[in-house]
């Protein structure tokens, strides 16, 4: 069977959806509008900075207000960007092909200026293909719903960090309120034509149930991008019943791995007393069925390989390599949102141990860490940042000199065209997650390795480890053995590197993001009882070969 591509998905999406309209629901929006500070301030700041204006003269404020109103009228001064992130880039072409509606939080500071009276706009802004319906959240809702319950309670709980989970009734109330708001908006969007609703991730666990109350016959599915914890841990959540009931509003619920499905099914059984068929992967609760299935997410491997091959990438590659801070014979790489689940501290401890244990590599080895700022309003994230940065300093002081530093730390978000240069350049990449739903960085590194000389070192506790068995596996808690694996990666003969990388590439090129999408839609079709496919997708790893994909 030929490979799944964006075009093939686009061609089949209408029949996969049975000609219903696709309504995608996520916390993050695919297009963001922001005021361009330059356009806003330039004509004002020139005058405002003039020394002859006394400090008590507030005429600059009047000029700023008049500039804002002028820009508002003309629509100038507002810039839009495509939200960064694997999921939004993968789903955007699908939405463009099926002309559906995407419901999301309008988080840009000029988002309100660009919608119509029903909070909608056509996107992409330069080539309208589908509707974006924006939801507005107050500052206290963002604090309680997003930074609070979603990221200070659910995120640590699902990643097995019980000690970091904070359960506050106020956060929970905001979480319920925002999920109601999303459900209400989606219900409104469903009024015009028959729809299929696809909810994304852990910020919206209650949305399916709230939606089901409004529209009992609607087709609803959900993809949960992070792990689901085992029952022994999950049960500490004060709202364990409500979260499960929320998700059981779905017809189909997807996780990356079979293990997360099993954890969820066990929670439904033990917490709610629901009737669960573990083998078939189905829960029956209050007269309804929810099917629970593994769908390991992937990337658009061709897109990353294409980007890595671009001439500008090759030029930047040469430029970076010539810089003194990267002029090492061996370059390692880590790319992560700065999150405690990614195991960045353990990674640096292992690197320190490696340099201690194998002094012959001092001065010959450099490690680039791209740390993307994330959830900086939460204390836990600020603490981990401090911890990481002090370790970087310690290692650089201990093993560096005036001319070289073993760790090159970049705390910033890079454009994909810059990120790919590092993916392509690295002799090895290190994913050391303590627990991770999947980890797309591992797959992006593989896709971008066009010379096939890099080695992937992958934590056993990242979902990606189940598929990427040609990586070198590590247990990030075992510092001594991680240090030895680093040495093994560095000393791996070229033939072995190439062989392993070729196999990894074969896998992600077949199991790409489009196959992921096709499998989810085909399974929804089966669940609705309208499928021509008789076999179920088994509750096992994606390598099992059985598939519920429709024939092309
Ligand atoms: C959650 C789950 C699951 C990173 N730095 C830059 C940048 N990135 C992009 C990568 C990649 C994405 O961010 C990170 O994805 P991960 O999968 O590694 O991690 P999470 O953000 O925690 O994602 C995870 C995922 O959802 C999908 O289901 O795999 O387990 O935790 O795409 O490329 N992108 C750009 N510049 C950067 O500096 N442009």
Looking at residue 271, what is its pLDDT?
A: 98
| pLDDT surpassing 60 at residue 535 | no
Range name among 46-50, 61-65, 122-126 with the lowest pLDDT average? 46-50
Q: Which atom of ligand 1 is nearest to the CA of 437?
A: 30
**86, two tokens:** 């694997």
Looking at residue 72, what is its pLDDT?
A: 63
Model pLDDT for residues 84-117, shown as the tens digit of each residue: 766 787 788 889 888 999 999 999 999 999 999 9
Model pLDDT for residues 222-259, shown as the tens digit of each residue: 999 999 999 999 999 999 999 999 999 999 999 999 99
Instruction: Specify the residue with its C-alpha closest to ligand 1, atom 10.
Output: 441
Q: Which atom of ligand 1 is nearest to the CA of 442?
A: 18
Q: Distance (Å, rounded) from C-alpha 203 to C-alpha 29? A: 13
Confidence of residue 18 (pLDDT cuts 50, 70, 90): confident
| pLDDT surpassing 50 at residue 542 | no
- CA dihedral angle for residue 17, residue 19, residue 21, residue 27, rounded to 10 degrees: 10
Looking at residue 58, what is its pLDDT?
A: 65
Return the SS3 of 373. coil
Across 260-278, average pLDDT: 98
Model pLDDT for residues 182-237, shown as the tens digit of each residue: 999 999 999 878 999 999 999 999 999 999 999 999 999 999 999 999 999 999 99
What does each C-alpha distance from 35 to 45, 77, 161, 179, 285 come to in angstroms? 16, 6, 38, 28, 48
Return the SS3 of 143. helix
| pLDDT surpassing 80 at residue 469 | yes
Across 294-300, average pLDDT: 95
Residue with tokens 């092909």: 97
Averaged pLDDT score across all residues of the chain = 90
- CB-CB contact of 97 with 103 (8 Å): no
More confident site: 11 or 175? 175
Distance 467 CA to ligand 1 centre (A): 17
Distance 360 CA to ligand 1 centre (A): 34
Looking at residue 2, what is its pLDDT?
A: 65
Looking at residue 55, what is its pLDDT?
A: 54
Model pLDDT for residues 354-397, shown as the tens digit of each residue: 999 999 999 999 999 999 999 999 999 999 999 999 999 999 99
Model pLDDT for residues 307-353, shown as the tens digit of each residue: 999 999 999 989 988 887 888 899 999 999 999 999 999 999 999 99
Looking at residue 531, what is its pLDDT?
A: 44
**Percent of the chain topping pLDDT 90:** 77
| pLDDT surpassing 80 at residue 44 | no
Distance 262 CA to ligand 1 centre (A): 25
| pLDDT surpassing 90 at residue 68 | no
Instruction: Specify the residue with its C-alpha closest to ligand 1, atom 33.
Output: 441
**Percent of the chain topping pLDDT 70:** 88
- Residue among 438, 464, 466 whose CB has most ligand 1 atoms within 8 A, to mutate: 438
Distance 450 CA to ligand 1 centre (A): 21
Looking at residue 533, what is its pLDDT?
A: 38
**430, two tokens:** 């290190």
Instruction: Specify the residue with its C-alpha closest to ligand 1, atom 1.
Output: 225
More confident site: 37 or 418? 418
- Give the torsion sign (CA, 303, 305, 311, 316): positive
Q: Model pTM greater than 0.75?
A: yes
Q: Across 256-385, where does the E strand assignment appear? A: 275-277, 282-285, 288-294, 330-337, 365-372
Looking at residue 74, what is its pLDDT?
A: 60
Please name which of 115, 55, 47 lies closest in space to residue 80, comparing C-alpha atoms: 115
More confident site: 534 or 248? 248
Task: Determine the length of the chain.
Answer: 552
- Residue among 440, 443, 463, 520 whose CB has most ligand 1 atoms within 8 A, to mutate: 440
- Which helix (H) or strand (E) segment holds residue 22: the answer is strand 21-26
Pocket of ligand 1 (CB under 6 A): 84-86, 225-226, 297, 335, 337, 370, 372, 413-416, 419, 436-441, 444
Model pLDDT for residues 488-532, shown as the tens digit of each residue: 999 999 999 999 999 999 999 999 999 999 999 999 989 887 444
Instruction: Specify the residue with its C-alpha closest to ligand 1, atom 21.
Output: 337
Q: Distance (Å, rounded) from C-alpha 159 to C-alpha 149? A: 14
Across 421-441, average pLDDT: 97
Looking at residue 14, what is its pLDDT?
A: 85
Looking at residue 541, what is its pLDDT?
A: 39
Distance 458 CA to ligand 1 centre (A): 15
């Amino acid at each position: 069977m030929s490979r799944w591509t964006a075009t093939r998905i686009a061609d089949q999406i209408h029949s996969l959806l049975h000609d219903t309209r696709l309504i995608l629901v996520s916390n993050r929006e695919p297009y963001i509008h922001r005021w361009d500070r330059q356009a806003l301030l330039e004509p004002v700041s020139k005058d405002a900075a003039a020394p002859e204006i006394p400090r008590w003269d507030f005429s600059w404020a009047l000029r700023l207000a008049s500039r804002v109103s002028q820009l508002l009228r003309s629509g100038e001064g507002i810039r839009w960007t495509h939200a960064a992130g694997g999921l939004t880039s993968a789903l955007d072409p699908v939405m463009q092909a099926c002309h559906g509606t995407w419901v999301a939080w309008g988080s840009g500071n000029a988002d309100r200026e660009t919608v119509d009276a029903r909070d909608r706009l056509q996107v992409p802004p330069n080539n309208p293909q589908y509707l974006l319906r924006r939801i507005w959240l107050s500052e206290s809702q963002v604090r309680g719903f997003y930074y609070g319950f979603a990221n200070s309670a659910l995120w640590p709980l699902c990643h097995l960090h019980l000690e970091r989970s904070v359960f506050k009734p106020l956060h929970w109330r905001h979480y319920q309120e925002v999920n109601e708001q999303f459900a209400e908006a989606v219900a409104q969007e469903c009024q015009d034509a028959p729809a299929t609703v696809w909810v994304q991730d852990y910020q919206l666990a209650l949305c399916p149930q709230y939606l089901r109350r409004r529209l009992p016959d609607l087709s609803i599915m959900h993809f949960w991008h992070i792990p689901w914890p085992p029952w022994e841990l999950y049960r500490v959540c004060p709202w364990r019943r409500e979260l499960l009931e929320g998700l059981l509003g779905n017809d189909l619920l997807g996780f990356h791995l079979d293990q997360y499905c099993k954890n969820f099914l066990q929670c439904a059984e033990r917490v709610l007393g629901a009737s669960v068929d573990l083998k078939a992967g189905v829960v029956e609760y209050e007269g309804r069925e929810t099917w629970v299935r593994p769908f390991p997410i992937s990337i658009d491997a061709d897109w990353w390989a294409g980007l890595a091959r671009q001439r500008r990438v090759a030029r930047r590659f040469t430029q970076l390599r010539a810089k003194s801070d990267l002029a090492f014979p061996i370059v390692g790489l880590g790319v992560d949102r700065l999150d405690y689940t990614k195991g960045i501290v353990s990674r640096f401890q292992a690197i320190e141990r490696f340099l201690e244990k194998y002094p012959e590599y001092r001065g010959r080895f450099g490690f680039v860490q791209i740390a993307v700022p994330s959830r900086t309003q939460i204390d836990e994230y600020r603490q981990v940042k401090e911890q990481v940065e002090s370790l970087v300093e310690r290692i650089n002081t201990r093993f560096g000199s005036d001319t070289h530093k073993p760790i090159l730390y970049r705390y910033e978000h890079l454009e994909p065209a810059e990120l790919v240069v590092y993916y392509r350049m690295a002799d090895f990449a290190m994913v050391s997650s303590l627990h991770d739903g999947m980890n797309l960085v591992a797959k992006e590194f593989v896709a971008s390795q066009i010379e096939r000389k890099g080695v992937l070192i992958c934590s056993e506790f990242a979902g990606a480890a189940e598929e990427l068995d040609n990586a070198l596996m590590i247990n990030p808690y075992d510092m001594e053995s991680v240090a030895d694996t680093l040495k093994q990666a560095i000393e791996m003969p070229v033939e072995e590197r190439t062989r392993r990388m070729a196999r990894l590439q074969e896998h992600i090129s077949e199991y790409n993001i489009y196959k992921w999408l096709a499998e989810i839609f085909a399974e929804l079709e089966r669940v609705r009882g309208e499928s021509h496919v008789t076999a179920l997708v088994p509750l096992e790893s994606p390598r099992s070969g059985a598939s519920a994909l429709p024939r092309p």
